[in-house]
Amino acid sequence: MFRPISRTWLIVDIVGAVLGFALTTPLTFVFGTSGLSAWVPEGPLSTVAYVTVGVILWGAAAIARLSPTLALSVAWFGAVIQMGMGLPPAAYDLGIMVVLFATAAWGSRRLLWIGGISALGGGVIGGLYFGVVWSGELLTDAASALRAALIAALLASVFVLAMVMSWGAGLLWRVILSGRETQVARAQAEMLAAEEQERVRIARDMHDIVAHSLAVVIAQADGARYAAAAQPEIAAEALGTIAQTARGALSDVRMLLTQLRHRQGDGPQPTLADLETLFAQVRQAGVEPRITVDPMPPGEPPGAIQLAVYRILQEALTNAIRHGDGAVEVHLAWLPDRVDLQVRNVIGGEGVPTAGGHGLIGMRERAQLVGGSLQAERHGEQFVVAASLPIGGSVAG
């Protein structure tokens, strides 16, 4: 019966209902009628009944979002008291409109149609009641009866129109909310699909890196075994290469086994040596990147780090081509324990890449899979991609 809503919205609804009661209830007293009730004598009883109905109707409005079912029941109860006490139509009846809106906007499918029936039936009943009781006609002859009937029909039409419009507005809001939920679900599904596709690509890359590393280890081990007796210095050098390669391969294998469980493909993997080719392709696209590498790599970084640097630069430069104005700055800092990467470009006419875009997701995945982090955001008139990838003891000194 009760819907889960935030405390903020509950407070807003209660405060709004209190304001609605405070603004609408005194209007009948201010603008006045000949009496509050059609058949209860003027006095405390009619006044108490009038105020009580206002409290009930706006109380129903206060809980309309929290429990549309309970709110509709309370509103009907208040309307019955209003008619039973012979009270006139009043501004506080706007609380009924709020309840009808809520039944259509947030109620169950069954309550949706109950609210629609209530809008039609309540409008007809209320219009006939107010038309007959408060028409001011004394039903002494056929003419007065006809005039009373016409007034009742007119009021019934007005009430039905107002109530159905309130219910219809709630139905429209229900459709809007449903559309928003569908869009959110679709966006989440697209993001998950993009992440999965990127993991598949990374798994393929990791497979090839590990295969290459193990091939190097095997070749160096065979060479060291044959050279151990005749040329010990060559054997020692081969063992150093094996240790360096094995450390990088071990890191890749751990990532592969713990995070990536997909089918891998084949293909050559880019390394730092391929960055010049990448920069040349960017220049051919009409963008001249200003490149700074300081300090230089202290040795041969692990294959996973080289691949991550290449792919992040590739995507960042692609975004700069698409969304920038041609000015790009690339900075690489190969520190003993990490590599810091930064790409800056002035934002052009197409704006900035979207936060949920596949490219940004892929860059973050690349950084996270090697234990690093990446931020991509707008800084003033520039879009900045900044990544920090740990190297640890994987770099040969």
DSSP symbols for 10-55 = HHHHHHHHHHHHHHHTTHHHHH--S-S-SSSPTTHHHHHHHHHHHH
Across the chain, mean pLDDT equals 80
Mean pLDDT on 24-52: 76
Instruction: State the average pLDDT over residues 213-233.
Output: 69
- Say which range, 65-74, 221-230, 366-375, has the weakest mean pLDDT: 221-230
Q: Please choose, from the candidates 377, 366, 389, 350, the residue with its C-alpha nearest in 3D space to the C-alpha of residue 201.
A: 366
| Residue 264, pLDDT score | 41
Helix (H) or strand (E) holding 393: none
The pLDDT confidence band at residue 394, using thresholds 50, 70 and 90, is very low
For 97-154, what is each residue's pLDDT tens digit?
Answer: 999 999 999 999 999 999 999 999 998 888 888 777 765 555 556 676 777 778 778 8
Predicted model pTM: 0.52
pLDDT bracket for residue 236 (50, 70, 90): confident
Tell me which of 162 and 246 has the higher pLDDT.
162
Q: What is the mean pLDDT of residues 327-355?
A: 81
pLDDT score of 214 = 64
The answer, yes or no, to whether residue 78 has pLDDT greater than 90, is yes
Backbone angles phi, psi at 379, to 5 degrees: -125, 95
What's the CA gap between 226 and 41, in Å, rounded? 118
pLDDT above 50 (res 395): no
**Is residue 390 classed as helix, strand or coil in its secondary structure?**
strand
Question: Are the C-beta atoms of 313 and 330 separated by less than 8 Å?
Answer: yes
Structure-model confidence comparison of residues 223 and 216, the more confident one: 223
- The mean per-residue pLDDT over the stretch 146-174 comes to 87
Among 68-82, 163-177, 189-203, 206-220, which is the least confidently predicted range?
206-220
DSSP labels for 326-373? Answer: EEEEEEEEE-SSEEEEEEEEEE-TT----TT-HHHHHHHHHHHHTT-E
* Mean pLDDT, residues 193-203 taken together: 71
**Mean pLDDT to the nearest integer, 56-69:** 95
Rounded Cα distance, 223 and 320, in Å: 46
pLDDT at residue number 277? 84
User: Above 60 in pLDDT, residue 358?
Assistant: no
Any idea which residue has 């991609």 for tokens?
Answer: 385
The pLDDT, as a whole number, for residue 25 is 87
